[in-house]
Structure 1
Amino acid sequence: MKRLMTATLTSLCLAPVAQAEVTRVGFATEPYPPFATLDASGELQGWEVDITRAVCDAAELECEIVTTSWDGLIPALTGDKLDVIAASLSITDQRRETIAFSDKYYQTPAALAGAKGDDLKTTSGGLAGKTLGVQSASIHQAYAQVHFPEAILREYQTQDDANQDLFAGRLDATLADRLIIEQFLDSKEGQLCCEMKATVTQDQETLGEGIGFGVRQADDALRERLNEGIAEIRANGTYDEITARYFDFDIYGEPDT
């Protein structure tokens, strides 16, 4: 999990969300199946898209989906071109210095994949001299910088690009969301080349506290409405109903404490 293709944005003003009739919700243009991808007609679809629409309905927000590049999402939010980020954005203290977050709406672990038979370890120094692919500006890049300092990091705009280079032998390993890794390993290419090496140790400082909606720090009212929407769809069964269409496990993760 990390774009302004805004055909429907032309009629919107750039006023703060408190005065706007439409809440502009930002997703990444880069495909991130099964969370958010463009279908043949150019419409965004996926689990996260459905969940976001359900939260908007529950919060009584009129939401419009806007897409921009992954690394442009936070600048678009702070620049008042978006009101909400809904693009598998992990809740981290570093990001809290710039934006605020809703409560989490899902959480999955990070994992390492590499070529079949390669002896790769997730211990400190276990990837020394190995070329490790990560998505640029992602929590997985931050994790690798802290925990695999002796690895040679190669950044990619999308995780799919990293997966393809792993398949082609241009990488020794890639670090990403475990669910995304599993999907790659289930593909024709993934089955031929690669295997899961390990789920990495959870590190809240770099991997965060789960996935939440990003909002501007001053937008407390919007953040609370999103929290209410998340709580409502969790309580009334909508969350589980949507999730069952995509996954056969509880993607929410451990209950909040």
Structure 2
Amino acid sequence: MKKSTVMAAAALALGAGLAQAETIRVGTEGAYAPFNSVSESGELVGFDIDIGNAICAEMQVTCEWSTHEWGGIIPALNSGKFDVLLASMAITPERMEKVAFSDPYYFNTMRFAALKDLGLEDATPETLEGMVLGTQAGGVASKVLNQYFPDSEIKLYPKLGEAFLDMESGRLDLVLESKFALADWMNDGVDCCEFVGQDFLLDGTIGAGMAFRKEDADLRDRVNEALATIIENGTYDEIRQKYFEFDIRGKPIAVSELFGD
């Protein structure tokens, strides 16, 4: 066979291979920075996006991204608008009735931030007795404070930003909230406060996972395998360090174990 004919055949085979490359359609919200959002140039960016692209690269498939309104994002998955939902969705028993989830790829923990001047090393009901603790009214953190810290003064605020302002002015000793929200606040030029105590989760909290149609068990297994690989080879942690200075994957203790029943 002539050299030109061989090269043409190889090019044809390569083109056919590219045409047949698998594409996985990935849906996200695009409105939850720094996890998933749309940049000024219209590009999807964030931790979720980078993790999804790394998983697709490991699987040797093409990621095709699309954005969807949060309220209808599970119905959009189940109706076939995309194949994988990657949008920092918390795994809950109610959602598990509708979709299948991957292994958790991070945990949204809660933690205390305290005034540095207090010199606290721990945050327990005993060490915080008599101190003024705050958070947003109606949130999960307010329930934790009311249940486990009866000997502290609890102040609840209509907006979390108001609690942060009282921390900065010294009218609160500690604030309890999502570690991500606290880190975002303290990294914005705030020098009054520091993390204290342990990270914890609400009882029954499983973490954030990628969602799949229940019949797509094979795809879920392949994604789980790719996720495990990028965690093991360090790719996951390289991505994590772009967005967060602290560990977000190790499963922390449950609140009832940390503070007592």
- What's the TM-score bracket when you normalise by the shorter of the two chains? 0.5 to 0.7
- CA drift of 1:25 comes to 1.5
Deviations along 1:128-180, one digit per CA (max 9) or x if unpaired, are xx99648x9xxxx567678869x99999xxxxxx54465578xx97743x123
Aligned partner (choices 209, 213, 231) of residue 210 of structure 2: 213
1:51-70 to 2 correspondences below 5 Å: 51-70=51-70
1:5-84 to 2 correspondences below 5 Å: 22-33=23-34, 35-84=35-84
Paired with 2:165 and 2:76, the residues of 1 have a C-alpha distance of 34
After TM superposition, the score normalised by the length of structure 1 is: 0.63
Q: Greater Rg, structure 1 or structure 2?
A: 2
Q: Which has the higher helix share?
A: 2
- CA drift of 1:203 comes to 2.4
Counterpart residue number, 1:16: none
Measured at CA, do residues 63 and 227 of structure 1 come closer, stay the same or move farther in structure 2, by a change above 3 Å? same
User: What letter matches 2:82 in structure 1?
Assistant: L
* Alignment coverage as a number of residue pairs: 216
Paired with 1:238 and 1:195, the residues of 2 have a C-alpha distance of 29
Identity of aligned residues (%): 35
RMSD of aligned Cα (Å): 4.2
Contact 2:157–2:163, Cα closer than 8 Å, also in 1: no
Measured at CA, do residues 249 and 77 of structure 1 come closer, stay the same or move farther in structure 2, by a change above 3 Å? same
Measured at CA, do residues 133 and 40 of structure 1 come closer, stay the same or move farther in structure 2, by a change above 3 Å? same
- CA drift of 1:238 comes to 1.7
1:202 aligns with 2:201: yes
Measured at CA, do residues 29 and 237 of structure 1 come closer, stay the same or move farther in structure 2, by a change above 3 Å? closer
Counterpart residue number, 1:186: 187
After TM superposition, the score normalised by the length of structure 2 is: 0.62
Contact 1:83–1:216, Cα closer than 8 Å, also in 2: yes
- CA drift of 1:100 comes to 0.9
Q: Which runs of 5+ in 1 are unaligned?
A: 1-19, 156-161
Could you say what secondary structure the match of 1:106 adopts?
A: coil
Could you say what secondary structure the match of 1:181 adopts?
A: helix
Measured at CA, do residues 199 and 250 of structure 1 come closer, stay the same or move farther in structure 2, by a change above 3 Å? closer
